[in-house]
Amino acid sequence: MRIAAFGVVEHPQGRRYVLIVLIAAGLASIAAALLVGSVAAPLPEVIDALRGRSSDAVAAIVLDLRLPRALSAFAVGALLALAGSLLQALLRNPLADPYVLGISGGAAVAALIALATGAALWVMQLASAGGALFTLLLLVALARRSLFSRDLLAGDDAASGVLLTGVMIAALTAALLSLLLALAPDGRLRSMVFWLLGDLAGATDMSTAVVVLVLLAVLLSIACAFARPLNLVLRGDVAAYTQGVDVDRVRRVLVLVAALATGCAVTLAGAVGFVGFVAPHLMRRLVGNDQRLLLPAAALLGGTLLVVADTIARSAVAPLQLPVGVLTALLGVPVFLWLLQHR
């Protein structure tokens, strides 16, 4: 399936407003995350806490727990959606996303190895990004014939080759994760399993949330700077070359952006699936396939979706917390199956 067969629905009249609506939805989801939880937090008290006029328990809950977690959730969802959008464009396959292609699994394997050796947090983060990059490069190497085909009529065969290669890599990383869990000490097993299912319970450090938001802004800016040449690449390598696009450079930079985004997201929240798949597809059907608008729109929607999912995960059966990756899968799997039925 080529990028032209994504089933894009054009709504040109609403394009100028879509980013404003998405920004408002993101802010509303974060506000809801501050209000909702196992402990009641009335709106006036939340506002006082944000203004620094309160020193009670509600202020501690809002500022030390809910706010950094909500910001981290937004950043993780946006990073995954950005990576998914880039992978779907670079691989010219509407079914691509970091989770389905095994990139999240590769990042998780590297992160768990670092965790098992007692490495520092920054080492774990670096290992996660390295694992994502290695897995993505492995995918590119194994599916090179399909990915870099100059045959504009290759169509479904090329896309299927990339997808099947990614699914096999995902199966391999799943096996490696199972092996690591089998060898893990009993004292760490539960926390490792919960983290692998997707967990933002540990994302309560405000400085980390700010750093991840800054990284998101940088990676999104780089991706948007390459949005126009990426639009040309979507038409085929030959067409892009004739328009003066350095296709190899575009791919190298955006592959690195996708790997860093995935590695950072996995380090902070574990292997959260389907956000990188669902958000780009929903936005593509709403605003079209112009990457200049699709990339920021998908990132905003991905962040909003994960904030909502995390709020439900920590509130639905409070004081118990559900893995957020379970809720995103419950949303993503039906959408995935629906897309397969409407190819």
Confidence of residue 225 (pLDDT cuts 50, 70, 90): very high
Using the structure block, give the residue that is written with the tokens 């933002």. Answer: 200
Averaging pLDDT over each range in 64-78, 120-134, 276-290, which range is the top one?
64-78
Averaging pLDDT over each range in 148-162, 212-226, 306-320, 327-341, which range is the top one?
212-226
Using the 8-state DSSP alphabet, how is residue 289 labeled?
S
Q: Is it the case that residue 256 has pLDDT exceeding 80?
A: yes
pLDDT tens digits, 7-64: 444 444 556 688 999 999 999 999 999 998 877 777 888 888 888 776 677 788 888 8
Q: Which of 109-123, 126-140, 183-197, 216-230 has the lowest mean pLDDT?
A: 183-197
Q: Is it the case that residue 81 has pLDDT exceeding 80?
A: yes
Confirm whether pTM is higher than 0.75.
Answer: yes
Using the structure block, give the residue that is written with the tokens 């869990």. Answer: 181
Using the structure block, give the residue that is written with the tokens 């620094």. Answer: 52
Whether the CB-CB separation of 272 and 198 falls below 8 Å is answered with yes
What percentage of the chain carries pLDDT values higher than 90? 25
Tokens of 208: 């980390």
pLDDT in the model for residue 153: 41
Tokens of 95: 């079914």
pLDDT in the model for residue 219: 96
Q: Is it the case that residue 257 has pLDDT exceeding 60?
A: yes
Mean pLDDT of the chain, nearest integer = 81
Q: Which of 4-13, 193-202, 273-282 has the lowest mean pLDDT?
A: 4-13
Q: Is it the case that residue 112 has pLDDT exceeding 70?
A: yes
Q: What is the domain count for the chain?
A: 1
Using the structure block, give the residue that is written with the tokens 């920590």. Answer: 314
Q: Which residue has the higher pLDDT, 277 or 2?
A: 277
Tokens of 107: 């990042």
Q: Kindly state the average pLDDT of the residues 251-280.
A: 86
Residue 173: which residues within 8 A CB-CB, separation 6 or more? 102, 105, 106, 108, 109, 135
pLDDT in the model for residue 146: 56
Whether the CB-CB separation of 135 and 107 falls below 8 Å is answered with yes
CATH of the domain at 260: 1.10.3470.10
Most distant pair of Cα atoms in the chain: their distance: 65
Whether the CB-CB separation of 313 and 73 falls below 8 Å is answered with no
The four Cα atoms 292, 293, 296, 298 give a dihedral, to 10 degrees, of -120
Structural domain containing residue 305: 3-341
Q: Kindly state the average pLDDT of the residues 256-276.
A: 85
| Amino acid identity, position 303 | G
Tokens of 287: 């605003």
Q: What is the CA radius of gyration of the chain?
A: 20
The CB density around residue 19, as the number of other CB atoms within 10 Å, is 14
User: Using CA atoms, how far apart are residues 158 and 234, in angstroms rounded to an integer?
Assistant: 14
pLDDT in the model for residue 291: 92
